[in-house]
Structure 1
Amino acid sequence: MWELIPVKERKLYTLLEKLYFAENPLTLKDLSHEIDSSRRTISYYMEELKTRVADTGGFLETSAEGYILVLSKNISIDTFQHQAMQASPSLQLIETLFLKNEMSGIDLENDLHISTSTLGRMITKLKDKLSDYELTLGIHPYQIIGDEFLVRRFFTSYFLETYGYQAWPLPYIDYSEIEKLVDSLFQIDSIRFETVNVHKFILFTAVSIIRERFGHNIYFSKLADEHHQADEFNHMRSQVNAWLSHVDIDENKKELYEKIYTFYMFYYFSPYTKETISQSNPRYTEKIEKRLSQLAQSFDLPLTDFNHIATKIDDMLYQNSTLSYAKPLDTYLIFKPSDYNMLRLYSRKYPHFYDALTRLLYELYDLYDIDPDKINDEELLYLIISRWDNLSFHLYQKYNSCHILVYSPNSYRHAENIARLLQTKLERGCQITVYGEPILNKQRLNNYTFDILATAGSVHLDIEQPIIALHNGMNRRHLQQLFKAIDDAFKNNCQKTHDASVIISEWTSKMDSFHS
């Protein structure tokens, strides 16, 4: 889909993205290398970028070191993603086909103000891209066709990426009524709503209403043809009906909403329910739960309830293995959701943990007989990382923080005052605890977990952790030894993930026991 955006827009966005994520200024040479264009061309693009960024309230800072992007405080990169997509005639064609259903070539040429030859080129390119999603383009009349559930997912992703979370692109649909449905659903205790993308839920509803109005019945989806899913489907339908019976909406619309939400919730929501829906087909939820628990133990992380994660993974992989949808796990067309940046962070900060998760997924692909090349690892990795309770906090505490124990021979209060002063000096992830015993010795220190012992005087003890005698001045120059010890502690704690990954490799080789 990226190729459907005009070349110039792609290059402008790529430049902006590089500047957005850059930690240091980027020169023309750096940027020229990134998008494979001459410096002269880059200079031209940068002038246009300056105008676009300025239009949003930001600016491009230029210095001898290079360019720095400074966005307005309420603007993020998604603003420019929307601009890039809205500038694409091919994507405008997709939107027109959705909003006006069956159209002739003449209709499209007039609507988009393009020639017959231009339309022909756009149609050829669009057909090629749609095939990745198990969709195609019918031409008599023109319309996007394929499994109805996939068609709706496709258009939902399109509108979300093109218009974002605040603009409402479908004026024919009553947003307030769908908002009322969401509010009522939010009140249901049996649904874990904390990881649901609410706006996507709203857009899917709106897309489904329009598709039903045009006569595209959701019952034509392959999901409806899976006879062995009948029990689960009926269970979900009864739950949806029970919910809708308490919502104040027109009775004539309830049948439509019951149809839409039974399918949506069956595919997406069953893993979110606190009481898991009984499934008649063979499942591996318990095995996945067990693997996730082993992973947590190997990295010395607290155990948590993995059932909702395991159920969702099981459901997604099962659908993938049985329905053979192309790109079944992709939740985006061009631009990854902003929270996917967590994957970038985890792969850099906790590479051994990230690798262990990836190896676990490949075990699961083998279990479900899925070709790894035909599945999006990122979607599953994001699912695990984003829904694992307090995972970022626990990893940070375990592998990215430094625990400083403060001791003063003068008094506990003196040590406490030093600890408070240190907290104002250390702008990083340091936990500071005061040594609370009246006597300091090696035996009593065994009762504490710490990386550095910071003292208010000279101390001689044979312990593994470094001892730093704090300078009376307590300014930045005097704290250099402490800063170095903190950096070393960070490195040592990060190394723990490597040690844990060695343990992981032992149980990843036990595939036979996993399959049994």
Structure 2
Amino acid sequence: MFSLISDKDKRKFKILSYLFQANEPVTIAFLAKETSSSVRTVQYDLNELKITINDLGGEIKSSPNGISLNLPFHVGMDYFQRQLYKTSPGFNLLELIFFNETYYDDELAELLFTSSATLCRLIAKVRLALNEYGLDLSSQPFKVVGNEMLIRNFYATYFAEAYNINEWPFPDVSRKFLTSCINSVIDYHELSDNLYEFHKFRFRHAVEISRAKKGYFIEEVFIESTETRQSQYSAFMLESKEISQRLNLSHEELTIYFSQIINWKFYFSLPFLKERIQSNPVAARRYHDFLETITFLTEIFQIPKRDHTYLIFELNNILELYSLYPIPASYRNFFLFDSQSAFLLTTFREKFPIFYEIAKKKFIHILKKQNLYLNDAIIEKLLFVFLSKWPDLYYDLNLSIQSLDVLVYSHQHTSYTKFIIDILESKFNKFISFKKLEHPDICAADLSHLNFDILITSVSLNIEIPQPIFFLYPYNMTGSFNNFEKLINEVSQIKKENRKQKILSQLSKRKEFQIE
């Protein structure tokens, strides 16, 4: 959707990005080269940016060494990302017609402070951008047209990215009431805040309620009985009576809220998931494919078993919706910037490449097995949810790969040994476990029955064991720590490589998990 951002705004944002990331002053010549612009153009842009930054309480400083950016600590690049939406006539047009579908050419031109000719060119750009998401723009009056689910996905993405968490652009949707409803549902289902993104979720359902108020509804895929629906309606009205009266919401408004909230079972309800799995063979296969992948990865990487029910639930929901509306761009969870997902995926791909590739390969296999269209957007979305919502995954993988067990032996008394362990634990990372060797006498035969990677001693030992022995010299702790850190790195690399070979050996026995 960068086609809806002017070249000038894109260039100014790029300049800010370079200045924001730079640790040293940046020359104007460098900025001109990186933005494919002239030095004069960059100077003009910097003059405009200086005014913007000054208004925020920051400063763009010029020195003989170059240009540097100083921002207040509470301001990040996400602020400037949102400004791109606010200054884009294309996004402004899309927001205007979301809230009001009665505008004609002359009214839009006036609201956007543009000419009829410029508006025509803008409409062509917007229509082309919408086509990527399976949508179109109709005119006289203007509105976005297409599959209602895709329209809702589109605008939910827009509002979540264009507005900050403390902004509320929906005049006809009560933020307090919607927040109350979400909290009630979350409490009812006893959900952890790790399982949902509250602000994105609230924006999404504000979009759904706004659309419903205009008379747009989605045909329910999973229809319940009239008795069940009536029971749910009565419970909703009773639960919301006090707050709805306080906010002066009409009965008609409450009915619209209810019509959308009943679909939240698709996001939250575990019994609903189990019901779908029992009644739908395709959903059951998806569920078991995801469960098999998680079980296999847990076993092969020797990480703790955890409850993955809601993770599988969300992965299943993504594919269920994708099977109904397989438009590639509609499954990106961003329009302009994907910093969080990209950062997480890059981190896992670089730090845990085997784990990452197994998961990716398995998701591709699942998509192919169900004859679903393969594209990077859906694979990245599955991976992002899988890696970010697997409880404690990053920590567990680090522990699995980096963990070392170090035995500490001292010929001194127990408290002295504890003192040494306390010092070691304060100096080295949490993935190294230091344990006291309980045997008063030490010999190779006794050590052969113990599981450890390094032995630290307070006395020189003349024994032969497979593990390295390290003498900790108490009168030169700094030197000892430096040498011990080198030993840790060496042992860690050996252990990491051995573990990698063991994993690859196990993978070779399972064709569907093999990595090239």
* Common fold by TM > 0.5: yes
Tell me whether 199-208 or 375-384 shows the greater mean CA deviation: 199-208
Tell me whether 322-331 or 118-127 shows the greater mean CA deviation: 322-331
Out of 313, 317, 320, the position equivalent to 1:318 is 320
Per the alignment, residue 435 of structure 2 pairs with 433
Out of 223, 237, 240, the position equivalent to 1:247 is 240
Q: 1:93 to 1:481 in 2, by over 3 A?
A: same
Q: 1:83 to 1:510 in 2, by over 3 A?
A: closer
State the AA in 2 paired with 1:141.
Answer: P
Post-superposition offset of 1:40: 6.9
3-state secondary structure, aligned to 2:354: helix
Residues 328 and 378 in structure 2, CA contact (< 8 A), matched pair in contact too:
no
Per the alignment, residue 256 of structure 2 pairs with 256
Residues 406 and 453 in structure 1, CA contact (< 8 A), matched pair in contact too:
yes
State the AA in 1 paired with 2:438.
Answer: G
Per the alignment, residue 109 of structure 2 pairs with 109
State the AA in 2 paired with 1:281.
Answer: N
Q: 1:242 to 1:290 in 2, by over 3 A?
A: farther
Give matches, 1:211-290, under 5 Å: 211-215=211-215, 217-218=216-217, 221=218, 223-224=219-220, 226=221, 229-230=222-223, 242-243=235-236, 245-248=238-241, 249=244, 251-266=251-266, 268-270=267-269, 276-279=274-277, 280-282=279-281, 283=283, 284=285, 285-290=287-292
Tell me whether 304-313 or 410-419 shows the greater mean CA deviation: 304-313
Residues 400 and 494 in structure 1, CA contact (< 8 A), matched pair in contact too:
yes
Give matches, 1:475-494, under 5 Å: 475-494=477-496
Deviation digits for residues 188-225 of structure 1 (CA, Å, limit 9, x no counterpart): 0355553111112222232233223333x21xx3x53x
Give matches, 1:283-362, under 5 Å: 283=283, 284=285, 285-336=287-338, 338=340, 341-362=343-364
Deviation digits for residues 388-425 of structure 1 (CA, Å, limit 9, x no counterpart): 12211211111134444332222332221122223333
Aligned-partner Cα distance in 1 for 2:138–2:368:
36
Residues 135 and 146 in structure 1, CA contact (< 8 A), matched pair in contact too:
yes
Per the alignment, residue 194 of structure 1 pairs with 194
Aligned-partner Cα distance in 1 for 2:433–2:157:
42
Aligned-partner Cα distance in 2 for 1:337–1:460:
55
Post-superposition offset of 1:298: 1.3
Out of 372, 391, 394, the position equivalent to 2:393 is 391
Residues 360 and 508 in structure 1, CA contact (< 8 A), matched pair in contact too:
no
Post-superposition offset of 1:384: 0.8
3-state secondary structure, aligned to 1:376: helix
Residues 401 and 493 in structure 1, CA contact (< 8 A), matched pair in contact too:
no
3-state secondary structure, aligned to 2:334: coil
Residues 194 and 389 in structure 2, CA contact (< 8 A), matched pair in contact too:
no
Q: How many residues align?
A: 501
Out of 378, 386, 393, the position equivalent to 2:380 is 378
Residues 408 and 434 in structure 2, CA contact (< 8 A), matched pair in contact too:
yes
Post-superposition offset of 1:71: 5.0
Per the alignment, residue 167 of structure 2 pairs with 167
Q: 1:19 to 1:412 in 2, by over 3 A?
A: farther
Per the alignment, residue 92 of structure 1 pairs with 92
Tell me whether 388-397 or 437-446 shows the greater mean CA deviation: 437-446
State the AA in 1 paired with 2:483.
Answer: Q
Per the alignment, residue 468 of structure 1 pairs with 470
Q: 1:312 to 1:210 in 2, by over 3 A?
A: closer
Post-superposition offset of 1:11: 3.1
Aligned-partner Cα distance in 2 for 1:90–1:475:
64
Aligned-partner Cα distance in 2 for 1:106–1:336:
36
Deviation digits for residues 111-157 of structure 1 (CA, Å, limit 9, x no counterpart): 01011122112111111111121111011211111112221221121
Aligned-partner Cα distance in 2 for 1:203–1:490:
46
Aligned-partner Cα distance in 2 for 1:230–1:171:
31
Residues 31 and 42 in structure 2, CA contact (< 8 A), matched pair in contact too:
yes
Q: 1:55 to 1:341 in 2, by over 3 A?
A: farther
Pairwise CA RMSD of aligned residues? Answer: 3.5
3-state secondary structure, aligned to 1:454: strand
Tell me whether 105-114 or 89-98 shows the greater mean CA deviation: 89-98
Post-superposition offset of 1:274: 8.8
Q: 1:234 to 1:144 in 2, by over 3 A?
A: farther
Aligned-partner Cα distance in 1 for 2:19–2:462:
50
Query: Given the alignment of the two structures, is residue 82 of structure 1 paired with residue 75 of structure 2, yes or no?
Result: no
State the AA in 2 paired with 1:398.
Answer: S
Q: 1:185 to 1:311 in 2, by over 3 A?
A: closer
Aligned-partner Cα distance in 2 for 1:319–1:309:
16
3-state secondary structure, aligned to 1:372: coil
Per the alignment, residue 514 of structure 1 pairs with none
Aligned-partner Cα distance in 1 for 2:445–2:333:
55
3-state secondary structure, aligned to 1:277: helix
Residues 328 and 375 in structure 2, CA contact (< 8 A), matched pair in contact too:
no
State the AA in 2 paired with 1:310.
Answer: I
Aligned-partner Cα distance in 2 for 1:425–1:91:
52
Residues 26 and 67 in structure 1, CA contact (< 8 A), matched pair in contact too:
yes
State the AA in 1 paired with 2:385.
Answer: L
Residues 421 and 434 in structure 2, CA contact (< 8 A), matched pair in contact too:
yes
Aligned-partner Cα distance in 2 for 1:501–1:39:
54
Residues 154 and 330 in structure 2, CA contact (< 8 A), matched pair in contact too:
no
Aligned-partner Cα distance in 2 for 1:150–1:490:
49
3-state secondary structure, aligned to 1:352: helix
Q: 1:281 to 1:106 in 2, by over 3 A?
A: same
Post-superposition offset of 1:310: 2.5
Per the alignment, residue 121 of structure 1 pairs with 121
3-state secondary structure, aligned to 1:370: coil
State the AA in 2 paired with 1:463.
Answer: I
Query: Given the alignment of the two structures, is residue 416 of structure 1 paired with residue 418 of structure 2, yes or no?
Result: yes
Structure 2 residue runs without a partner (length 5+): none
The TM-score, its normalising length taken from structure 2, stands at 0.84
Deviation digits for residues 246-277 of structure 1 (CA, Å, limit 9, x no counterpart): 233354433212211233442x334x669733
Post-superposition offset of 1:496: 5.6
Deviation digits for residues 8-33 of structure 1 (CA, Å, limit 9, x no counterpart): 322333444456567x6585587666
Deviation digits for residues 457-489 of structure 1 (CA, Å, limit 9, x no counterpart): 323443333322223244544422112123334
Tell me whether 303-312 or 67-76 shows the greater mean CA deviation: 67-76
Specify the structure having the higher radius of gyration (Cα).
2
